[in-house]
Amino acid sequence: MRDEGDKGDEEDEGDEEDEGETQFPTPHSLRERGPRVPQSPVPNPQSSIPTPHSPLQMQTTAEYYCAYCGEPNLTFVDLSAGAQQSYVEDCQVCCNPNILYVRMDEDTLDIEIDTEPES
């Protein structure tokens, strides 16, 4: 039969073992920290996907044909840069530099690209 002294010794030994283990907060200790700040709801990813005619979309892709090899290329067009743009982009097939002249219809967002070789 055990006496009270033995029980206390076992509890002390148990406390020593707990020191090396990870201590998780109890529900009571969480309540002592104060009220939680409400978090904003997570947006539905389906509702935030912009469409080609959405004002949220500032970038889209368009196809152009290389002025050197004639192969089709896909490029990103920044819609926020205006309805008429020009810049140089290397062909994805032959690596030659093309001057791209980008025109965008602001009503339909249709994009046309003309190319010429960079001299």
Domain residue spans of the chain:
59-117
Q: What is the DSSP string of 71-85?
A: -EEEEEEEGGG-SEE
Per residue, the 3-state secondary structure of 51-74, as one string, reads CCCCCCCCEEEEEEECCCCCCEEE
Residue (of 58, 81, 73, 76) closest to 115 by Cα position: 73
Q: Residue 116 above 50 pLDDT?
A: yes
Q: What is the pLDDT of residues 22-37, one digit of tens each?
A: 665 555 544 555 455 4
Q: Residue 77 above 60 pLDDT?
A: yes
Q: Residue 44 above 50 pLDDT?
A: no
pTM exceeds 0.85 for this model: no
Work out the mean pLDDT of the chain and round it to a whole number: 73
With a pLDDT cut of 70, the percent of the chain lying above it is 52
